Structure 1
Amino acid sequence: MDDLYDQIDTLRGYVQDLSRSAGKSAGHGYERARDLASVAAHDAEDTMRDNLAASLVVAMGLGVVVGYFLRRGTE
């Protein structure tokens, strides 16, 4: 019976070590994903600033087209 208790204690130790290891891996993965998302957001912001005039022209053009179709549909 004592041997069974020793095996259970050993198994409990393995499970605790495994859960700690999984927690550390998840933490590192979260940090990496956060860093990648931050870099992507900065890149998108820089691209938008570099092409601000083109973005405004496209938005204005789409607004004119949508307005034309909405007005045409009500007549």
Structure 2
Amino acid sequence: MDDDERPRRRSTEGSFGAASLLASESLESYSLDELDARISLLQAEIDRIKSHREKTAAHMRAAESLFRPKQL
């Protein structure tokens, strides 16, 4: 099994461990180019999460419509 396919262990540092660490990191030592690269990387992650969220929501809507009791 590839590392990407293994379930990731959730952080014990709150529910958003890595994001919390990023949010608290000092940005003073970063150059403009490094900040732009970081923004691009974070935006790509936001887009990935939004896409996954929409797939999950669609799955939930499909399950609800399938298993919802029929109203007479």
TM superposition score category, shorter chain reference? 0.5 to 0.7
- Count of matched residue pairs: 43
Identity of aligned residues (%): 5
What is the CA–CA distance in structure 1 between the aligned matches of 2:34 and 2:54, rounded to whole Å? Answer: 30
What is the CA–CA distance in structure 2 between the aligned matches of 1:26 and 1:44, rounded to whole Å? Answer: 27
Unaligned runs of 5+ in 2: 1-29
What is the CA–CA distance in structure 2 between the aligned matches of 1:12 and 1:43, rounded to whole Å? Answer: 46
State the TM-score, normalizing by the size of structure 2.
0.55
Q: CA RMSD of the aligned region, Å?
A: 1.4
TM superposition outliers: structure 1 runs of 4+ over 3 Å: none
Residues 11-56 of structure 1 deviation map (CA, whole Å, 9 limit, x = unaligned): 01100000000100000000000000000000000002xx32xx54
Equivalent position of 2:44 in the other structure: 24
State the TM-score, normalizing by the size of structure 1.
0.53
Structure exhibiting the larger radius of gyration computed from Cα positions: 1
